[in-house]
Amino acid sequence: MTFLSKGTLALSLSLLAASAAIGTVSAVDFDVLTSEEAVNPYDVWDDGGTKTLLVSFEDKAGHDSVVDHAKKKKKQGMKINEKSITFTKAQKIAKADKEGKAGKTGRRLRWLQEDDAIATGFSVIELESDDLQAEIDALSELQGVTAVEEDGIMHIESMEYQQKLRGGGGPADHIREIQDAIRAATYQFPDDEIEFSPNVEGEEAAGARHGRSLLQETPYGINMVNASHVWSKTPVMTEPIKICVVDTGYDLGHLDLPNEQEHNVTGWHKVNSDGSTPFGKWDVDGHGHGTHCAGTIGAIGTNTIGVTSVNPDPSKFQFIIGKGLSDSGSGSNANVMEAVTECVNAGAKVVSMSLGGTGSSTITDAFYKDQYDKGVLIIAAAGNSASDSWGYPAGYESVMSVGSVMESASLSYFSTRNVQVEITGPGHSVKSTHKNGGYTTMSGTSMACPHVAGVAALLWTHFPECTNNQIRNAMIRSADEPPTSDSRNTPGWDKYYGWGLVNAGNAYELLSKGCDVAGGLADPPEGKELHDLALGGKFQKNVGCTLDEHCDQSNPCLGEFVCNAGTGTCEQVAGTAPVCDDGKKCTIDTCDPSKPYTVLTDLCVFTPKPCEDGNKCNGIQDCDEETGNCYLKEPAVNCDDSNLCTTDTCNPSTGICSNTDVTCNDNNACTLNDTCDPFQGCIFGEPLDNCCGNAECEADETEATCPLDCGTTLTTSFENAYSVELGPIFDIQTKSKNVTIGGFDLNCYVPEGIASKVFVYSLPGGNYYEDGKWYKKNLWDKVLESPITCQGFGTPTQVALPEAVTVPKESKHSFFIFIYTDASATGYWFYKSHYPPSGKTARYSPLVEDSYLQIQTGSGSYCISGFCAMISPRMPAITINYAAIDDAPTTSPTMSSMPSTPLPTFTPTLRPTPAPTATPTSTPSFAPSESLAPTPFEPVKVTVTSPPTSSATIVYAYYFDVKGGTYDSVLTNIKITTYASSQEIKVFAKKGTGKESEGIPCDWQLVAKTGNEVTGYWKTIYPKWINGFKPVELFAGETISLYVTSNQRLLTKYAGSSSLKYTTHFTSPDTSALPDIQVSYAAYGNVGLFKSYPSYYSSRSLMGALDFETVAPGSTMSPTAAPTATFSPNQLGSTELLTEDTHQGIQFDIHATSAIILRKLNLHLEAGTHLVEVWYRLGSHKGSTSGCANYNNYCNKWTNAASGDIISAGQDTATSTPAMAITVSPGQTIGLAVVFPKSGLVVGTTVTESGGDKTDGVLTIVTAGSQIKDYYGNEVNTIHSLDTTPITFKGVIEYDIANSFCAAISAENGVLSGDDYEPDVTSNDISNPNAPGEDGGGGPINGGGGGLMDFDSLS
């Protein structure tokens, strides 16, 4: 958001020219303010200093009292300014209007004298005050003042602007807005069709405009509104009709728009008393939104360039531009009203307003009624709330409210839907003119509004004798019905589409029958004004009628209507509406107009009166048939068991009581005898001097740990351990004494006859997962490598260390234990653990502790190579044998020197252990114990099916997550719903969520694919996989992600909001063999592998089913083969001396000898939040190509790879850019640009033009980089010459070694820009199809970065 000065924000209405339409009153001088404050477009107009009030008055005396009040305050030292607008006719103002409007007042402070108070005009007062309420109170007491309100804020109604607001405020949003416009323009104009850059200015732009012509394009919306039907007709109006666009300005000089010299384009902008123009000038559009809207109305269609419009002949209309909003896209309600006033004074008949704000204003409502009475038709955007919320001015009755549809004529997902929506127009991905002579595609009701305004102006040129109300009614009475496949559409009016889609051709033919036939009354009935015929939205059609056919007959529940010619109103015919009354007092009687019927009473619906509140603990309620009142049929549940040692609760859903034992704990560390008496409650004993006789009770003791003071072992729970891996990784924390670790008791299992070894590694300092210590083997000390014979799950297997590990007091230490078998048995997972209990789910959370030692939540080793931690934390099932000593010993004690109970010898004697041979025999020479004898296991097949749905959305691809439930399982197949007769389907998978991996091929493994198979339309099938479906392991509680893609179309479930992504869509039932498997909503993709849509699009999910198999408890998961390639992260850092410099970024080159994928840059920055962008181009950033300098983007050779806000802790700490995926081919050089809107990047300055390059053998950083001193969005670097002072990149580059498959996809990968097409498809053919969390990101395999999965690549 652009920051505006207080001088900009202060409203300073210029004196209005005296005319028959509007009067003026002299003004009091006002000192313009100058400090800065950001604009909040969803709040009242307030810059932090100057407040603006609207004050209505009933006559001249009332206005004089307001002026005198302002002068008095001025003399008292207050900064205050007053200017006024008078109405042509006195208007009534009221608190509330018709249905749905009451209470829609937003957050304004306001005072109203009374309903139906009279206003003959209003003053705009700007003032500085610390107590605004006191000023409102003072004004409300003035004689003749009828209302006082805070002024509101207005903003444009484009989705691009809404997305910018959701991303935050400040300069960062302005830069993102520029980028969005560039990407949209690039998408619409391929390289070989671009005439000149939309952002080129000055002499270069002038020169470029003389280049070759673009082929003129007709945007889809022009044909959709059937404008061409009217173009061939001869207008009756002799003078061009005047059309006003109140918006962010107008790009005067755009080759595809009317100009001043030839077409008399004129306009208005605010001018302060000091001559400044706080919102800019009307003929300069710093935003582009106003130019886009004007292009839809009147882009020149008689030339051969750009786009055409609803009114392609500029000789038949004249633009009057009102600069109501600033270049930021926002402004004040008062400033917008002044722009409208100036337009009307200049003769405008149609006013297009693609803007809005929250909260209604009674004074503003009266203002627009006054414009309507002058014969002006004002058309406004309904809003982009995607809900039934209200926006203004579209919410006022005298303003025509316009919703938005897509190219398919279905409703745009963002379009506001409420009782005031009157008509719809094309507003989704609309192409039109843009600032700086360019073109772009935008979405929003902002884009729909000028289509309707353009049609109104086009019709009026042929029927100038019609009134504004007749033109308005003709458009709604001739509107096209929206698609019948949309269940939201009902005959006649509905809140989604209003009366339908505007159709210029239909309206022309209707008006040809006469203005009164098409639009009803020309003049209001006696005693009424023209605005009384403007009820808007749902109610517009039933007022001002002249014929019965003008009346809405679409709702049979309301009966039939005929026109009363005397009053101009539609009246119900007696006896034509159904009477829905079954005579029962315990039913709610309603009428459903959508029901089929033979007689009218068939429409009636009788619903039992709801008496239950859903809480069975409150008793059972029922309805009394005689009185219709609810009464208590069964009493409330009493769960009191008269036992003070239980907590008594009732389950609201079942009405069943539960009595839970009370835990008595007085929090006295050394009180061990707390008890509870059923009649007295808790009883607390006297504290003991110590806890167990030979150990002190320390300050941090608890009653749970104190009894363990006498022990020399610490054990975590072995119960309910169900996850299996190769061994535990965990931290311990010592307390006030040094501790020596002598060994461990493990919970492990290896089948009989399989030789195995145990490895124990030690890491002083703890925090094993921090900074990737868990896969850096060189940081760990190996303290044991020894054969092991596991005793089986549930029976501890002791592991003694040859030399105890000493851990100093008050310090942390990490242990890494894993078990290997011989090469023939690498599929076994030997060690059992489980998820931590509630409250201990994060790494390093305390699990168990005593006076000397604490075991913390850890992880598990999951790969044969070791040093591979699980993503999700695990609770190790382990016992630690230790000794606590006051001082560190001079020699490390052994197990035999440990105090207390002697520990067993290293080799357990629970069963004989034969010496393993080089090749284990298939039949062991001894019989396994009964407890370890294998039990036959038959896997259970479980299908998890998506819920039935009657609607779907067509996509090319989609992502979704699957979170494991209570047990481990294996995904064996997937059922998919198709939307193509034949296609090729691929399924990719990864461990962890797909949230951060959309569009990044190397994060995924291919698990299944088909050939170009016959699949059929609207079918839910198991595809014919080539080589089958590679099983995917799903551990209990862990998450995997799937990516399903097709070269044609698939069907998905539509979630309706981007906020639902990666939240649960459906869950396997508790009665299943695999309960609580959760399948999420997620993102969807465009055609082509890993081509992703922007993140703000709505979420989708699987329509189909997932097939799973159970796995044997405590044994193995299904084995998977090693991947065909690994992606090992390498880091290359420069080491030059650094200084800070006040530039906006750096450009430098890199060179690769092998195929790599750049993942992120780690930078050194000043502390704080920074918006960073990373751009790249093929070839060096120096020199030139085809006449274009490589360091800028005039030839569109740079691509944005990453953009977002990052937070730096300071220069000494590296801060990562957002993730990216830039593929660099072998032998290729690319240029990189790291851009910041503000300074703060640390760079090296002690380099020379040649030499000093840094390389690790794969990647080379060319250290002689260049400064970026200016930044203009897509230009990447200054428009001037390249800075020749060499600097070097300081930081670390992270990259992957890419195999040929993911490198090839990555080179083609990109994010689709400018295409908002989201088709919602509903059909009876898709009816109940019989088909169908956790943190993400995989740890490396064998030290690499490929994730947790060992999939075969099928590519």
- Quick one: tokens of 317? 């209309």
d(CA 591, CA 1033): 54
d(CA 92, CA 76): 34
Q: Nearest-CA neighbor of 293 among 309, 306, 270?
A: 309
- Quick one: tokens of 393? 């001015």
Residue 388: helix, strand or coil by DSSP? coil
Is the CB of residue 48 less than 8 Å from the CB of residue 54?
Answer: no
Question: Which residue in the list 69, 289, 292, 1181 is annotated as catalytic?
Answer: 289
d(CA 57, CA 210): 56
Q: Nearest-CA neighbor of 733 among 805, 804, 810?
A: 810
Residue 375: helix, strand or coil by DSSP? coil
Element (H, E) at 628: none
d(CA 455, CA 507): 9
- Active-site residue, 446 included: yes
Q: Helices 504-511 and 468-477, interaxial angle, to 10°?
A: 120
Residue 176: helix, strand or coil by DSSP? helix
Phi-psi category of 306—alpha, beta or left, where left has phi over 0 and alpha has psi -120 to 50?
left
State the pairing for strand pair 797-807/853-856. unpaired
In 1058-1121, which ranges are continuous DSSP H helix?
none
Instruction: Look at the alpha carbons of 716, 718, 721, 725 in this order and tell me if their dihedral is positive or negative.
Output: positive
- Active-site residue, 263 included: no
d(CA 22, CA 1178): 62
d(CA 398, CA 370): 9
The residues, any chain, with a CB within 8 Å of residue 35's CB and separated by 6 or more, are 5, 6, 48, 49
- Active-site residue, 429 included: no
Question: Which residue in the list 97, 247, 327, 968 is annotated as catalytic?
Answer: 247
Could you tell me which residues are beta bridge partners of residue 879?
Answer: 715, 745
What is the tally of helices (H) and strands (E) in the chain? 17, 74
Chain center to CA of 294: 30
Q: Nearest-CA neighbor of 550 among 474, 456, 481?
A: 474
Instruction: Look at the alpha carbons of 666, 667, 671, 674 in this order and tell me if their dihedral is positive or negative.
Output: positive
Q: Nearest-CA neighbor of 737 among 849, 850, 897, 885?
A: 885
* Burial classification of residue 614, based on how many CB atoms lie within 10 Å of its CB (0-12 exposed, 13-18 middle, 19 or more buried): exposed
Q: Nearest-CA neighbor of 113 among 140, 136, 149?
A: 140
* Burial classification of residue 90, based on how many CB atoms lie within 10 Å of its CB (0-12 exposed, 13-18 middle, 19 or more buried): middle
Question: Which residue in the list 309, 398, 446, 1180 is annotated as catalytic?
Answer: 446
Q: Compute CA distances 1238 → 855, 1137, 1148, whole Å.
A: 46, 22, 19
* Burial classification of residue 599, based on how many CB atoms lie within 10 Å of its CB (0-12 exposed, 13-18 middle, 19 or more buried): exposed
Is the CB of residue 1324 less than 8 Å from the CB of residue 954?
Answer: no
Instruction: For residue 931, report the phi and psi dihedrals to the nearest 5 degrees.
Output: -70, -20
- Quick one: tokens of 1190? 């490589």
- Quick one: tokens of 1047? 């070269």
Cis peptide, bond prior to residue 393, ω within 30 of zero:
yes
Q: How far apart are the first and last CA of the chain?
A: 46
The upper half-sphere exposure of residue 203, i.e. CA atoms within 13 Å in the direction of its Cβ, equals 1
Could you tell me which residues are beta bridge partners of residue 748?
Answer: 831
Residues noted as catalytic: 247, 289, 446
